[in-house]
């Protein structure tokens, strides 16, 4: 007889303090040590990903003037980033509704984007708002997140099941969103994205648990799955999510500077209740089980395939050795860190560090250390494998592990009860 348990039974265990929960990383570590873990031993697995997610937007509403002063606002910017007012006109109310994209660039601040703005708001920093009404009245105000009547983060395409590794087979360097420095040619460098076995969809590939209304964490705050994300299909399933910005943890969000412009950082954690043996059997037990397709960065067509086990194995955190740090006239790390996490005098700001490996790659004095690994790839058209060094990781496995651990703790403390989906996710039939 097939083994089963209900969501009600699991929530009852949570209330009694006897629920059995592992993060995916804990499960992987235990199995690597030779421990035997079966369906009976696990009630919930917590999954997570922390990565570059360009499809995020802030949805805001706040007051800019007393009622009756203006008919409506038609232009608005926050810290020099243009937002899109509406669609609600809020006629004569002095209130403005707007949407602002995470990848939008500031016109007044260098290397500043929507992702940075969202983090600044969550950190409680003041922001400068400029607006223009339909009558031509201009208003400028300084606000904080507490002054916003409504502030939510919406993701249009998040937690993609697994992403790609990128190489450049051409002769010329390529500036791309998949590199911090221009990606060198002749298959000499590899960058990759994705948290491998930690990813929610890797552990629920058929969306048996993930559905419309599923309760999740977005940047550490409780949020919900709204539905399937853009271009969602069975090869690249992804989510559309929503969450209040109040209560988010800035450590899990922000902006990442690539050689082609800013990308947004966002983190998603999802609990997987183990309701039956089929769900349990889908839980990923090793990163070597998760394929990582290697693409030509110019044109995005497949040139080879490896696994996430080739790039991830307990090499999650960048180490810094201040005694090896020479006071360079022009510190290459201080200027190249894509999240502004390094300061020559203060060292690494761990709340901003993405563990991407850029510091290790550009530092000439070996003051940083991380095993970025080199991978062997059987490239199309070549008879022998080619060894290619990894120079950049655009997902933060350590951050994903921390968020999965946070979700586990919240469940154990009764702060997060599992919620059944209202409707299943639909996969679009067309593969893009």
pLDDT number for residue 429:
61
Helix (H) or strand (E) holding 369: strand 368-369
pLDDT number for residue 46:
98
pLDDT number for residue 1:
59
pLDDT number for residue 68:
94
pLDDT number for residue 37:
96
Distances in Å between the alpha carbon of 217 and those of 15, 157, 309, 365? 20, 15, 26, 39
What contacts 110, CB < 8 A, 6 or more positions away? none
The pLDDT tens digits for 94-152 are 999 999 999 999 999 999 999 999 999 999 999 999 999 999 999 999 999 999 999 99
- Block residue for tokens 């002095």: 94
The pLDDT tens digits for 67-77 are 999 999 999 99
What is the number of H-type helices and E-type strands within the chain?
8, 27
The pLDDT tens digits for 278-290 are 999 999 999 999 9
What contacts 244, CB < 8 A, 6 or more positions away? 151, 152, 153, 221, 223
**CB-based contact 238:111 (threshold 8 Å):** no
Q: How confident is the model at residue 88 (pLDDT cuts 50, 70, 90)?
A: confident
Mean pLDDT of the chain: 94
pLDDT number for residue 229:
93
Cα separation, 102 vs 78, whole angstroms? 12
Cα separation, 159 vs 52, whole angstroms? 10
pLDDT, mean of residues 187-200: 97
The pLDDT tens digits for 318-352 are 999 988 887 777 888 888 899 999 988 889 999 99
Distances in Å between the alpha carbon of 12 and those of 20, 222, 274? 12, 20, 14
Q: Quote the distance between the C-alpha of residue 319 and its chain's center.
A: 22
Q: Pick the more confident residue, 2 or 182.
A: 182
Q: How confident is the model at residue 384 (pLDDT cuts 50, 70, 90)?
A: confident
DSSP state for residue 137 in the 8-state scheme: -
pLDDT number for residue 239:
94
Q: How confident is the model at residue 90 (pLDDT cuts 50, 70, 90)?
A: confident
pLDDT, mean of residues 299-321: 95
- Pairing label, strands 302-307, 239-244: unpaired
């Amino acid at each position: 007889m097939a083994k089963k348990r209900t969501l009600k039974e699991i929530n009852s265990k949570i209330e009694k303090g006897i629920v059995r929960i592992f993060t995916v990383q804990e499960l992987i570590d235990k199995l690597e040590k030779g421990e035997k873990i079966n369906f009976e031993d696990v009630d919930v697995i917590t999954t997570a990903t922390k990565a570059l997610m360009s499809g995020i937007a802030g949805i805001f509403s706040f007051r800019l003037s007393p009622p009756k002063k203006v008919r409506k606002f038609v232009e608005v910017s926050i810290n020099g980033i243009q937002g899109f007012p509406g669609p609600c006109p809020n006629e004569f109310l002095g209130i403005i509704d707007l949407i602002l994209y995470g990848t939008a660039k500031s016109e007044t601040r260098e290397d500043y984007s929507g992702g940075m703005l969202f983090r600044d708001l969550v950190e409680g920093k003041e922001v400068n708002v400029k607006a223009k009404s339909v009558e031509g009245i201009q208003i400028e105000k300084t606000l904080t997140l507490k002054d916003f009547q409504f502030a939510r983060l919406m993701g249009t395409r998040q937690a993609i099941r697994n992403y790609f590794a990128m190489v450049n087979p051409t002769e010329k360097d390529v500036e791309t969103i998949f590199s911090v420095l221009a990606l060198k040619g002749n298959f000499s460098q590899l960058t990759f994205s994705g948290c491998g076995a930690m990813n929610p969809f890797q552990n629920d590939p058929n969306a048996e648990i993930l559905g419309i209304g599923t309760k999740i964490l977005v940047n550490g705050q409780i949020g919900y799955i709204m539905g399937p994300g853009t271009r969602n299909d069975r090869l690249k399933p992804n989510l559309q999510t929503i969450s209040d910005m109040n209560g988010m943890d800035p450590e899990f969000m922000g902006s990442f500077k690539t050689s082609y412009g800013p990308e947004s950082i966002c983190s998603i954690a999802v609990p997987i209740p183990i309701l039956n043996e089929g769900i349990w059997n889908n839980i990923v037990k090793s990163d070597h089980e998760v394929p990582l397709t290697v693409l030509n960065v110019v044109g995005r067509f497949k040139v080879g395939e490896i696994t996430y086990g080739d790039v991830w194995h307990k090499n999650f955190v960048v180490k810094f050795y201040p005694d090896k740090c020479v006071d360079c006239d022009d510190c290459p790390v201080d200027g190249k860190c894509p999240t502004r996490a390094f300061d020559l005098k203060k060292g690494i700001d761990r709340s901003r560090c993405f563990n991407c490996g850029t510091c290790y790659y550009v530092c000439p004095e070996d003051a940083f250390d991380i095993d970025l690994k080199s991978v062997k790839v059987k490239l199309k058209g070549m008879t022998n494998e080619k060894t290619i060094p990894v120079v950049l990781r655009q997902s933060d496995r350590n951050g994903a592990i921390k968020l999965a651990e946070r979700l586990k703790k919240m469940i154990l403390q009764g702060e997060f009860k599992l919620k059944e989906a209202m409707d299943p996710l639909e996969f679009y039939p067309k593969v893009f």
